[in-house]
Every structure is written in C-alpha cells, then in structure tokens.
Amino acid sequence: MQSMTENDLATTENDLECVQVRKHFGSVRAVDDVSFEIPKGSFFSILGPSGCGKTTLMRMIAGFESPTAGDIRIKGKSVIGTPPNRRNVKMVFQHLALFPMMNVYENIAYGLRCAGASKEVIRTKVHDVLERISLPDVANREISQLSGGQKQRIAIARCMVLDPDVLLLDEPLGALDLKLREAMKIELKLLQHQFDTTFVYITHDQSEALVMSDNVAIMNEGKFVQIGTPQELYHNPSAAFVAGFVGDTNRWAGKVTRVENGAVEVATEAGLTMRGSVRGAGTPGVGDTVSAFVRPEFISAEKTGASSKSVDPAHNVITGKVDSILFNGANSRILVRDGAGELIEADVVLTGGTQDLKPKDDVTLSWSPEQTMSFKA
C-alpha cells in the first residue's frame, strides 16, 4: 500500500485530505493510520466489508466523531475541533432522513431557512436545484408521493442547495430494490458531474464502487489496503485481499515449485499445477505458500474432444465436467468440477444453440499464466 506523508498531502487543490487518521475505541483500532487525498470534483468511494471502519471514518470527516490522532482537512484547512454544523460537509444517509411532515420544497428549503436566507434566495435556490436534478415539477408534492429514486434525488438536492465542499453518502442505495439500485448508480454519477462537487461514497457493494467512482479505496481492518481507479484495482490488485474482494475470482492456495523470470509454478493443495504471474509485495521462492487468483472471464471453456480451436501449449489447462450453469442471458457462467473435486467458475456465451455447454458435459478449461495472479502469503 502506498503511503503519503504530511507534505505530500499539503495542497489546497484537494477538497478533502486525511493525514494519518486514527480512531481507537479502547483497545480496538477502528481506523488505523489512514491517509488519502481527494482532488476537487471527484467521485471517491471507500469500499470494504462490514466492520472494517469505513463508517467510523466518514463520521470523523462529518464531525460526529473525533479522531484519536491525525488531521482532517477540507479545502486545505484543518477541521479538527470544528463541530459538524461549522464544516461545509453534508451527508446523505441510507434511509435519507427526509421530513415526512414537509413537502419537497420545504424539505429542500429547511437548511437555507436555518442559515437565515431570505425567502427570495430560498425560492431561487430551491427551484434551481430541482431543475438540476431533473425534477422541476415536484416542489409541492408530499414525500409520500415520491418514488424511491425521486426520494434519493431530493435527499441529495437538500444537501446540494447548501453548496457543500464535500458530500458524504453512507450506503444510500442499500434500502432500494435491485432494479432501482442499478438505475441509481447511473443517476448518482450524472448528478455528481452535474454539481461538480466531491462525493465520498461509503459502500460494501463492489459494483456500486466500480461503476460510479473515479477512485476507490479498499479498506480492511481499519486500514486502506489500496487506492486506485476501478480498472487498477480490478486488473492490478496490490494484495491478495484486494484480488479476492474486488470482482469475482477463482482462488487456490498452494506452494511454489518453480520460479523463473517473474513467473511461478504453483502446486495447489488439491493437487493441481498451474503457472502464474507474481503480484503484490515480495517475490515468493520455491516452497513458499501463495494464493493464486483467476477471474472467470479469462478462462476459456470448450467441450472436450470437440473440433474447436487448439489450446495454446503455454496456457494452463484443466479438464473437468460441467456441474451446473448459472444462466444470465448471453453472458452466463458455468461451474466446472475438476478431477480433484473443486469447483471452478468460467464465463461462457450461451446462444440457445445445440453447441451450448450443458450440465455433465466434459470440458477443457484453459487460461494464460499472466491471468493467474499469485500473491505471497
């Protein structure tokens, strides 16, 4: 994991910076020496399993918790000791916290009224923000009359009407059904571009983070394991945890039997032999334990004995039998049970024709050694 010094982070070009932030609850280190910077107008996600410390970190940024150590800066200025209402940071919660006794206009206007804005300023700002979220005609509707997606946009509008430097979103899509959640991923990204405001998004859902974000921080056990673009995290994970957490993957544990020119040969615990590329910190030696990862989309699956393209002799090859098919239209997935009894996932294209793979078919799986990501344990 790349770390940043205080001098590296000292720049007003960033909307938000955290420098060696820690939060201890007794002997528990909920957030442990976290440093990062977010440039102006970015969509930045913090992705990690439940209990990894991401919500605690967000609460410290918002001012609801005080760090045990470290500094938090907004627009280059430290906000340590500044109460939440004095920080130009707003927050959207999972359950939105819209006021049911107020209509849409009153919900959005509430913060402006609390700030002492005039009726004319409030009217102008509320109608402007409703135009920007493409809901210009709902000002007089009751909250109960809105769809789930509309409520999401109103919750964001209520924050954005106050012109925050940073908008914090704590798993705001968690209460939505699957179809609406998929649509709102696109909506949120478009809204972030529309307002050109830094969004910091907390989630345990990798799909949300990968689809919407400019950069993503992977968090585990209170630490940032890796920060990068979605593509970097997916294709070039720096640690076994990232490889296993981001995206779908097959995983094997094994020992290195040969090392040559940055590549390794691994004998898995189940008795398989495969060649792979070395990833992460530290080059394993012969006898070292490694974790090997291969993503399903990089595995080619062919009926054994079928007249098809020949397998590259440099590729890893495993034979097995189709155990089951996870149908998802043209882009589906098969589960193949190899000779050792392990299940291997591979993506396939199913056209509905007679050549489609079926359960109990004998198959040959193959993939490039470069696609076997091997990490020293």
pLDDT digits (tens, 9 = 90+) for 99-114: 999 999 999 999 999 9
pLDDT of residue 306: 65
Answer yes or no: is pLDDT of 239 > 70. Answer: yes
Q: Mean pLDDT for the chain?
A: 91
Answer yes or no: is pLDDT of 41 > 60. Answer: yes
Q: Give mean pLDDT, residues 155-171.
A: 93
Quick count: other Cβ atoms within 10 Å of Cβ 136?
12
The helix or strand, by DSSP H or E, that contains position 157, with its residue range, turns out to be helix 148-160
Q: Give mean pLDDT, residues 13-34.
A: 95
Which of the two residues, 275 and 283, has the higher pLDDT score?
A: 275
Domain regions of the chain by residue span: 6-235, 248-294, 296-368
pLDDT of residue 9: 46
Q: What is the CATH number of domain 296-368?
A: 2.40.50.140
- Asked if the domains at 6-235 and 296-368 fall in one CATH topology, the answer is no
Q: What CATH architecture is 248-294?
A: Beta Barrel (2.40)
With pLDDT > 90 as the criterion, what percentage of the chain qualifies?
Answer: 74
Answer yes or no: is pLDDT of 213 > 90. Answer: yes
- Identify the band that residue 90 occupies on the pLDDT scale cut at 50, 70 and 90: very high
Q: How far apart are CA 123 and CA 118, in angstroms?
A: 9
pLDDT of residue 172: 83
Pair 62, 54: CB distance under 8 Å = no
User: Long-range contacts: 60-65, Cβ < 8 Å, 24+?
Assistant: 60/21, 60/23, 60/31, 61/16, 61/18, 61/89, 61/166, 61/168, 61/200, 62/87, 62/89, 62/91, 62/168, 63/87, 63/89, 65/23
- Identify the band that residue 261 occupies on the pLDDT scale cut at 50, 70 and 90: confident
Domain 6-235 fold: Rossmann fold (3.40.50)
Q: How far apart are CA 209 and CA 216, in angstroms?
A: 7
pLDDT of residue 10: 47
Q: How far apart are CA 167 and CA 149, in angstroms?
A: 18
Residue in the structure block whose two tokens are 């050549």: 355
pLDDT of residue 307: 57
CA atoms within 13 A on the CB side of 329: 1
pLDDT tens-digit series, residues 276-332? 999 988 889 999 999 999 999 999 999 987 655 677 888 999 999 999 999 988 789
Q: Give mean pLDDT, residues 238-263.
A: 94
Q: Give mean pLDDT, residues 146-151.
A: 87
Q: Give mean pLDDT, residues 329-354.
A: 89
Q: Give mean pLDDT, residues 219-225.
A: 97
Token readout for 73 is 């800066």
Q: Give mean pLDDT, residues 213-229.
A: 97
Answer yes or no: is pLDDT of 5 > 80. Answer: no
Which of the two residues, 71 and 181, has the higher pLDDT score?
A: 71
Answer yes or no: is pLDDT of 6 > 60. Answer: no
Quick count: other Cβ atoms within 10 Å of Cβ 259?
15
Q: How far apart are CA 242 and CA 247, in angstroms?
A: 9
pLDDT of residue 1: 45
pLDDT of residue 103: 95
pLDDT of residue 105: 96
Answer yes or no: is pLDDT of 39 > 70. Answer: yes
Answer yes or no: is pLDDT of 272 > 80. Answer: yes
